[in-house]
Structures are given as structure tokens and as C-alpha cells.
Structure 1
Amino acid sequence: MGKVFKFGDHIDTDAIVPGKFLNLTDPEALAGVCMEGYESGFASRIVPGDIFVAGENFGCGSSREHAPISIKAAGVRCIIACSFARIFYRSAINIGLPLLESREAASRIRQGDVCEISLAEGKITDITTGEDFYAGVYPEQIQEIIDRGGMIEYVKARTSGHK
């Protein structure tokens, strides 16, 4: 379960991690500047397990992986949106950050609501309102990448024989 932070449409990678922080490579340091271009000091409000909910085209802009890394490192459990920029979507999967596309959930869930996510079912439950929403489930291989924490850990497991 996590508390929801609600965003609008077209949240770009500069809002998530402004260009002046691109010299940071440590995930913990990136966590501290998560959403800094959206609101100064925003990262201090995130509690591990919180959930981002947004409108259209979340993660648009550049292809930098700093943005999804900062969100995951800050403790965000997943992002629910109407749609995601394709390069952001792939970068998030590569680092093991779950993204769920659900227009209905994104439009009905409110700032501050508490939600529970079941990736296996693609189920989003708004505990605050009692409503259930559904997003597509990941194919088995993509779910395994997320479960292992990203592509690097997935490849390590596959090449070491620990499937």
C-alpha cells in the first residue's frame, strides 16, 4: 500500500530530474532530487511504497535513465498513468520500476488516496474509495525482470543458471 502523488499530463524528464543534476550517478543521490524540477524539495515528501499517478505521456523528453532511477531510488512503488513516453517505459522496466497504464485509474484516483497494487493481476485498488481498476499484466519475462530489480540482475540470474 502507498499514498498517491497525483500529476498531470506531459511530466517530462526535466521535471523529474533537472539537467543540472545529470552529473549524479548514485541512486541515493538521485533519490534526493526526484521531482526537483516539478517542486523544489519534493523528494523529502516521498515515503517508500508511495505511488505516482499521472495523466498522458509521463516521462516525455530525453532518454536519460536518471529519471526512472530517481523515482525508484526515492521509494516509489510504481507509477500509474494514462500513457508513458516509450523510452521512459523501457528505461523503467530496465531498472525494475513497474508502470501501469490505466486511463480509468489515472483519472479517478486522487492526490493523497491510498492504493494497493497487484502486478500479477494488473489490479489497482484505491483503498480510500474502495474502487478497483485494472491495467494489463506484464508478460512473464518482463515480470521477472521487474521482480529481480531490473535487467542487470535478470541477466546475472539467467547466465548463472539461477532461473
Structure 2
Amino acid sequence: MKNLTKQLTLGLALVFGLTSCSSKSEKKVESNQKLSGTYRLIESKTIKGKDTIVAFTDTLKTEMFKMFNDDHFSFFNHDKEKGKGKEPLFVSGGGTYSLKGSQYQENLQYCSMREWENNTFHFVLTQKGDTLIQKGEENLPELGIKQIIIETYIKLK
């Protein structure tokens, strides 16, 4: 009986040890596998004080895409008139990110709006099927920017 108890205890300790010993990088890749891919922005809300600006619901004029791999993100936003319309637009950027549960952090290393480079932004990500919602604050006091953004993306197949 004592021998059986020892074996059972040893077996449970081994199972517990094996299930709790996955490395941090394995967990990161596992959680990011769902995030990896290309997403198209379908709506963006910017909240500044009491004002809310809704954009990107008219995708005939502009489009924005965001791409993720295991630890980097990139984005670009441009007008569909190839810069020849009334409001030419091209913004791009990228860097590294981390994702722990729904807590998402972007480290913007490169951006066509150069004064935004080398800043870190914290967001909450919600995934529902192929829909990704990113919500958080952009706070750059040196640029006079303090706003909440809520971006809704659809994952491309």
C-alpha cells in the first residue's frame, strides 16, 4: 500500500511538473497563432474628450490593413485615388508587440509620422471569430494627443 501511494504521488508530481513547465516563448507563439495574419480595418472610432469621430466606414475612398506575425506588427493606410485626389493619404508603421491574454502592447519603432516613433501603446484586444477589436489610449503629450481609439478589423482569408 505504501508503495502504491508513493507511485501515485510521484506520478501526480510528474504530470503536474510536465503540464506547468512550458516556456514563455511557447505560450507566446500559441496565443499569437490566432492573431497572426492580415486584417482590414472596417471601422475606427476616435474619442477626444466629449467628441467621437467615426471613420473608415466608407472604404471606397481609403483602406487600412494591419498585419501580425509572432512578434511584429505593421500597418498601412492609404487613399484609393493613388494620392491624386483631394485628400492624399499614406501612413505606415510597424514594430514589435506583446500579447498576454487580452492585454496588447505595441512598440512603434517605425512610422511615416516620424514623431510617433519609439512610443509604446497599450490596448485591449477582443477576438470574435474573424473580427478583431482593438481599444486603448494614444497619449502623446508632446504632440497634444490624448485620445481613445476603438478599431474594428476583419481577418482576410
- Relative to the length of structure 1, the TM-score reads 0.25
> Whose relative contact order is higher, 1 or 2, with alpha carbons under 8 Å and at least 6 apart?
1
As a proportion of its length, which structure holds more helix?
1
As a proportion of its length, which structure holds more strand?
2
